[in-house]
């Protein structure tokens, strides 16, 4: 594994609970889930130009917008954080905003399609 950096990110509490559930099921850490999230979503993020709404916004608004935000400290791969920082700056958004929306894109692929937030 390459170099890691400690990074605090803010998530809706319900989203963090989902990430923790995926981590537990997979036998990994939440940092691993965030890394997998970014791997699944970064190609879509790279296509964003900031002018059109992102499909992740609909998921976020439907499932997470009213949830309290919580801060979570993670040791994440430095290369991943460099990518997130670059995309967040390009889109004029925070890293927390970007990772939360990336989760909205990747959550179905990572096993949260029938989470408590969907009512399923």
Q: Model confidence over 11-67: pLDDT tens digits?
A: 999 999 999 999 999 999 999 999 999 999 999 999 888 777 788 999 999 999 999
Whether the pLDDT of residue 119 is over 90: the answer is no
Percent with pLDDT over 90 in the chain: 77
Domain range holding 78?
A: 4-118
pTM above threshold 0.85: yes
**CA separation for the pair 91, 97 (Å, rounded):** 10
CB-based contacts of 36: which residues, under 8 Å, 6+ apart? 106, 110
Is 81 in contact with 5 (CB distance < 8 Å)? yes
Selection from 58, 62, 36 nearest residue 117 by Cα? 62
> Which residues make Cβ contacts (< 8 Å) with residue 103, sequence separation at least 6?
11, 15, 18, 19, 37, 41
pLDDT at 1: 58
Number of domains in the chain: 1
């Amino acid at each position: 594994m390459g170099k890691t950096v400690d990074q605090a990110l803010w998530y809706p509490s319900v989203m963090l609970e989902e990430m923790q559930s995926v981590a537990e099921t997979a036998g990994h850490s939440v940092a691993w889930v965030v890394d997998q999230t970014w791997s699944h979503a970064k190609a879509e993020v790279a296509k964003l130009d900031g002018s059109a709404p992102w499909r992740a916004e609909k998921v976020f608004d439907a499932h997470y917008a009213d949830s309290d935000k919580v801060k979570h400290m993670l040791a994440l791969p430095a290369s991943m954080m460099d990518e997130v920082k670059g995309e967040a700056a390009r889109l004029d958004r925070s890293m927390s905003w970007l990772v939360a929306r990336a989760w909205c894109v990747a959550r179905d692929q990572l096993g949260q399609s029938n989470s408590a937030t969907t009512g399923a």
